[in-house]
Amino acid sequence: MTFRHSVVALALSAASIAAPSYAKEAVDLLINDATILTMNADKSVYQHGSLAIKGNKIVAVGDRSLAERYQAAQSLDVDGDIVMPGLINTHTHVSMTVFRSLADDVPDRLHRYIFPLEAKLVSRDMVRIGANLGNVEMVKGGVTTYADMYYFEDEVAKTVDKIGMRAVLGESVIQFPVADAKNADEGIAYAEKFIQQYRHHPRITPAFAPHAPYTNTTETLQKVAKLSEQYNVPVLTHLAESHREQEKIAERSGGKSPVQYMHDIGALNKHLVGAHMILVDDKDIELVKQSDMGVAHNMSANIKSAKGVSPALKMYDQGVRIGLGTDGPMSGNGLSIIDEFNQVAKVHKLVNHDRAAMPPVKVIDMATMGAARALHMEDKIGSLEVGKLADVIVIDTKAPNMVPMYNPYSALVYSANAGNVRHTIVDGKILMQDRQMLTVDEDAIRDEAIQFTDVVRKTVIDSGEEVL
């Protein structure tokens, strides 16, 4: 069992003894000797820098001189490691971890395989078990905030609350019967109840999640849009993802693109976060910009399904609110944004025929401030700046794959993997330290997930589906 309590040293530095203590401001956590990537507007980088946290907020970030100004209850000396904003996963279905590695390459998989599988297996237990596992994977991979779309989101919320992460949790709305609703109206009712329950939670933002335009009626989409305005909550959806969707929406709307259709029915607005956005043209991008909506770019999942490459770089360059996402664990399949970096950079270079396209700093920006902007949370998270919430990760720069580090953005994008994350801090609290989970029992969570795979295997085998 790897569950451990924090072993951070209580810091009473020589300096703090030498100077009278009233001269120093008391803080809760001080990180020293860091290569700090602030991801602020100037992309300021501090070598041997310090970061001070009080409560759940950043109270100082800067060069080494800061260390002398604070007296910290806890301190982490990170010996030159990268300190950066926690990564934000703008699109996933976390509970689907329990289905990961099933039928990865089945054509038309969503309709032929996943929806039938979910009809048999989605339950409160499944949602909880899968979310617990996915949360641990994300914290160990440096993700501090994620946006989720699934069923029984109140169960996901409990797991997020427990582990201490931050999340936008979207309760699904879809026109056919699912595990927690018989139809879209029941889904909306479930979502409203969930929203009322969690709207004042400090780390959880409840949301509506209409599955996609083509799996809901126009009336449902308009009803959700209206309610999102009323509750002032996000609307997470899959948008401009597939040719099937494109055809269905064109049929319904007299030839409109999904983005144009959503605009015309009044559903393209600042509450909306559209995942994928592969099939968008310049006119669509113009509507996206005007609407002030957010976009979740899921490179790894999109190319795995051979759906294509979103013009995400073009959208980013035009100022669209856009961040990175992993999509669900049957799609990506990993949940760590770090493992997206490499592919995001390289595939955009490939399709643009330009090795200078999508430089590492843009990738990191899309994983931090871009993603915060996509979720309309840029005032609170996404960069290391005074007054922001203390969502911070530390990346090991002494692992052999990370040496040397002439350019920290390059090292992160082209060399790092999820296993290089050393510490993960959310809301000022250390959730993982030196790869050890501090707020949940990783082994118990994994064992429960492995037990659940027996249920999945039995169900899949009973149905005559091939597991492998």
Q: Are residues 124 and 153 in contact, defined by beta-carbon separation less than 8 angstroms?
A: no
Nearest to its own copies of 282, 466 (CB atom): 466
Nearest to its own copies of 420, 433 (CB atom): 420
**Alpha carbon distance 192, 438 (integer Å):** 33
Nearest to its own copies of 181, 364 (CB atom): 364
Least separation, in Å, of the C-beta of 452 and its own copies?
8
Backbone φ and ψ for 258, nearest 5 degrees, come out as: -55, -40
> Tokens 């008391």 appear where?
26
Task: Spell 369-403 as b/e; 16+ CB within 10 A means b.
Answer: bbbbbbbbbbeebbbbeeebbbbbbbbbbeeeebe
Nearest to its own copies of 216, 302 (CB atom): 302
Least separation, in Å, of the C-beta of 96 and its own copies?
11
From the number of C-beta atoms within 10 Å of its C-beta (0-12, 13-18, 19+), residue 245 rates as buried
β-strand partners of 30: 52, 75
Nearest to its own copies of 186, 448 (CB atom): 448
Q: What are 413's two structure tokens?
A: 């994008």
Nearest to its own copies of 106, 386 (CB atom): 106
Nearest to its own copies of 58, 126 (CB atom): 126
Least separation, in Å, of the C-beta of 101 and its own copies?
4
Nearest to its own copies of 2, 21 (CB atom): 2
Least separation, in Å, of the C-beta of 56 and its own copies?
25
Least separation, in Å, of the C-beta of 442 and its own copies?
7
Least separation, in Å, of the C-beta of 317 and its own copies?
16
Nearest to its own copies of 235, 358 (CB atom): 358
Largest CA distance in the chain: 76
> Tokens 């820098």 appear where?
49
Least separation, in Å, of the C-beta of 167 and its own copies?
17
* One-character DSSP codes across 383-428: S--TTSB--EEEE-S-SGGG---SSHHHIIIII--GGGEEEEEETT
Neighbouring residues of 38: CB distance < 8 A, sequence distance ≥ 6:
44, 45, 46, 61, 85, 383, 384, 385
Neighbouring residues of 53: CB distance < 8 A, sequence distance ≥ 6:
27, 28, 29, 30, 31, 59, 390, 392, 425, 428
Least separation, in Å, of the C-beta of 99 and its own copies?
8
Least separation, in Å, of the C-beta of 420 and its own copies?
7
DSSP 113: I
Q: Are residues 285 and 315 in contact, defined by beta-carbon separation less than 8 angstroms?
A: yes
Size (the chain), residues? 468
> Tokens 């999102």 appear where?
228
